[in-house]
């Protein structure tokens, strides 16, 4: 909700009014209908270094807008 202007930079101008009208009551449905989610499933091999490296590589290449606890 606090990043509407940043979100509008990623969407065509036809979506900007929709983004301006987002609220707590409609944002969940809007996200489901307008965003993508990618999940990576890997076998647990008890190697926290490997998992951290994979996460860093994915974030580096995909450059997510919203990632982590402060997103």
The pTM (predicted TM-score) of the whole model is 0.61
pLDDT at 69 over 70: no
Which single residue is written with the structure tokens 């909700």? 1
Asked if pLDDT for residue 70 goes beyond 70, the answer is no
Quick one: tokens of 31?
Answer: 């996200």
Q: Are 65 and 6 in contact (CB under 8 A)?
A: yes
Provide the token pair at 35.
Answer: 């965003």
Q: What is the pLDDT of residues 4-53, one digit of tens each?
A: 998 899 899 999 999 999 999 999 999 999 988 888 787 878 888 888 88
66: pLDDT strictly greater than 90: no
With b for 16 or more beta-carbon neighbours within 10 A and e for fewer, the 2-39 pattern comes to eeeeebbeeeeeeeeeebeeeeeeeeeeeeeeeeeeee
């Amino acid at each position: 909700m606090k990043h509407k202007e940043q979100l509008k930079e990623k969407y065509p101008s036809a979506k900007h009014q929709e983004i301006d009208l987002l609220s707590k009551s409609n944002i969940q449905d809007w996200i489901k209908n307008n965003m993508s989610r990618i999940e990576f499933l890997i076998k647990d091999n008890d190697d926290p270094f490997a998992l951290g490296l994979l996460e860093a590589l994915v974030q580096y290449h995909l450059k997510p807008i919203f990632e982590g606890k402060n997103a």
